[in-house]
Structure 1
């Protein structure tokens, strides 16, 4: 029961972190049709900027200001880089954002070095939120999940219940008519891209104090974020949340399972044979937990090519 509860809590929190990062990518693709390969780099920038600013303006000041700076950087990226190649198609956008990701990684190493930095939770936030079977569960994990849920609620209300959301959706679906009504579509797209970058920056600023802030954090999370977006359905905010939670839970449980096919075959008297064969038959689930998101993506795409909540063409 302890394994079940702790793994569920860890899986939900990790899934919500994935949603925090993928929400901006989902927003950008849903509104603009741009697959931003550098999105996870915005997540890393948020963590490093919060770390650099926290000694000057405090921990909470860093968390607030870092996403704004990342959002501004995102707006400049869209205005002076992506807008120039948008007319040439997705291949040019992918190549440009891939190159941008490499440049950001090298700049981070240039200023902060190749090793993790000491971006840590303040002492007044180092306490247990509750206890499960004698195990203290960190409050900051719960805080990360709370920020992710608040992000989802704010985004959903903004896009579905406000005039800003109406303008953004109109710019996405009927840009010519929206422009004829007096809306500056290029500015709308620039702001959407900046908002998506700021969301990734917020995720980095919040999570970077708990998870290691290092130059490889973008590469470690970047591929998983794309898996989340594909599984949930390109452009679907609700789909990204659902996919994030599924991947988080499956990964969390897989890490703690030390069973293999040999154990299952042992139930029918074939355990010794399976262990003598070795290979995949003796490979424990925990050792292949990193492949779980990709296996889930493959399964979902076979059943629903548009993703769990994506719109069918």
Structure 2
């Protein structure tokens, strides 16, 4: 493998890992703070991708505006969904949560089939993000992929600032550490849950919108992402944002380079990584918090 090919694979690993982080960060917050196992979280990624497919023709080259509009719509949807559905799952045992959120997957898939059909769709990247960057020789790397990685990094830093430098973040950290004490301090824990859930939905949908121009938009695309996100959450430590970031990048590199060097065994590489880390640190790489 020459240096240009190695660099391309590194960039692909980082991009994949950062997209996984966006989805997994919302999942680990929801599970770590609210205590709800949400199997439908991958569906929010799918909803974001289909949202990009629907909104892209309306916004044209105003791609960033489309992403912001999609995040806002997703956050509103998440807020309402927590109020109407997830607020009744608190205090239920995990089996009931798994069954009820799995039912949501079926509902979302059926609604997707009715509204946009079962065809595979593509989303065109805006003109100002077309083309590629030369990596030496005849190899180029798409500008859009660099934009996707940069956008994910911006969101990661914004999430760090919110969690560690704002009053909302202080309440989120308190809720993750001790929800009963947080409630005793007069914080509206229900409203906090809705804000966290809405943020988690928005992050997953944003990942789907960013990924849509780089890959196809197709039915059931949230399933494989959900499995990888649970792997990331377990490796990083439940409730840890920084752990999710580290784990997502590790998974990105293992998965990408596993397909390059060990194509026949690539499917088990990520799970071997998870097993090794859990033997070393059963609680995951990091504790709750950023």
TM-score if structure 2 supplies the norm length? 0.92
Q: How does 1:173-252 map to 2 (within 5 A)?
A: 173-252=177-256
SS at match of 1:197: helix
1:98: Cα distance to partner? Answer: 1.1
Contact 1:50-1:65 at 8 Å conserved across structures: no
Greater displacement, 51-60 / 220-229: 51-60
Q: Which consecutive unaligned segments of at least 5 residues does structure 2 have?
A: none
1:125: Cα distance to partner? Answer: 1.4
Q: 1:96–1:132: structure 2 CA closer, same or farther, 3 Å change rule? A: farther
Contact 1:129-1:137 at 8 Å conserved across structures: yes
Contact 2:40-2:102 at 8 Å conserved across structures: yes
- If asked which structure has higher relative contact order (CA below 8 Å, sep 6+), I would say 2
1:189: Cα distance to partner? Answer: 0.6
Q: 1:297–1:177: structure 2 CA closer, same or farther, 3 Å change rule? A: closer
Q: 1:297–1:174: structure 2 CA closer, same or farther, 3 Å change rule? A: closer
Q: 2:278 maps to which residue?
A: 301
Q: 1:71 maps to which residue?
A: 75
1:176: Cα distance to partner? Answer: 4.0
Alpha-carbon distance in 2 for matches of 1:132, 1:105? 43
1:35: Cα distance to partner? Answer: 2.1
Contact 2:32-2:238 at 8 Å conserved across structures: yes
Contact 1:26-1:234 at 8 Å conserved across structures: yes
1:230: Cα distance to partner? Answer: 0.7
Alpha-carbon distance in 2 for matches of 1:228, 1:120? 29
The counterpart of 1:18, out of the listed 10, 17, 20, is 20
Alpha-carbon distance in 1 for matches of 2:89, 2:145? 40
Alpha-carbon distance in 2 for matches of 1:6, 1:81? 43
The counterpart of 1:256, out of the listed 234, 257, 260, is 260
Rg: which structure is higher? 1
Contact 1:117-1:213 at 8 Å conserved across structures: yes
What's the Cα RMSD here?
1.7
TM-score if structure 1 supplies the norm length? 0.85
Alpha-carbon distance in 2 for matches of 1:54, 1:108? 17
1:22: Cα distance to partner? Answer: 1.0
Q: How many residues align?
A: 284
Q: 2:140 maps to which residue?
A: 136
Q: 2:95 maps to which residue?
A: 91
The counterpart of 1:62, out of the listed 63, 66, 77, is 66
1:62: Cα distance to partner? Answer: 2.6
